[in-house]
Amino acid sequence: MVSKNRISPQPLLQELLWPNRWQCTVACLLLNVTTRTQVDKVWPTLFKEAPDPESLLAMDPERLKEIITPLGLKNRRAERLRQMSEAFGRVPHHKLPGVGTYAYQSDRVFFHDDLLHGTEVKDGALTKYLNWRRKQRWKKLS
């Protein structure tokens, strides 16, 4: 799915899901108020059963809640995932329900390639990824 030169030594979930913008956005929403370790237990099943916004919206809401229960806040998460999926592709990314600073900055990094344009991010893991990508770019230019 992703070219090897785009995968960092400690890959972010977005690297593994790229170039699927919807799945990357869902991953960011799943990561809210939980850990990557917890999300890693959930996302493979979620994306197997709902690989796109249409299939998530068609999914039985109780099944969605069952899948995401290990993350906590299952009712709120399920509602946000459904709202975001309904609006996906119809409204600007930064205005999607549930998209906060992390999801917005992640989208800028992975889908607009804001690497050398002074993009600064607040998340530590995203900052490490950006620094790694910048180093990779400079190695190619050297």
Q: What is the pTM of this model?
A: 0.90
- Per-residue pLDDT at 122: 87
**pLDDT tens for each residue of 41-91:** 999 999 999 999 999 999 999 999 999 999 999 999 999 999 999 999 999
Helix (H) or strand (E) holding 25: helix 21-31
CA trace torsion 73, 74, 80, 81 (10° rounding) = 140
Delimit the domains of the chain by residue range. 12-141
**pLDDT tens for each residue of 1-45:** 444 456 898 899 999 999 999 999 999 999 999 999 999 999 999
- Per-residue pLDDT at 69: 98
Cα 27 from Cα 5, distance rounded (Å): 21
Cα 97 from Cα 48, distance rounded (Å): 23
Which CATH number, 1.10.340.30, 1.20.1740.10, 1.10.3720.10, 3.40.50.720, labels domain 12-141?
1.10.340.30
Helix (H) or strand (E) holding 116: none
Q: Which pair of structure tokens corresponds to residue 22?
A: 């919807």
- Per-residue pLDDT at 74: 98
Distance, C-alpha 99 to centroid of its chain: 10
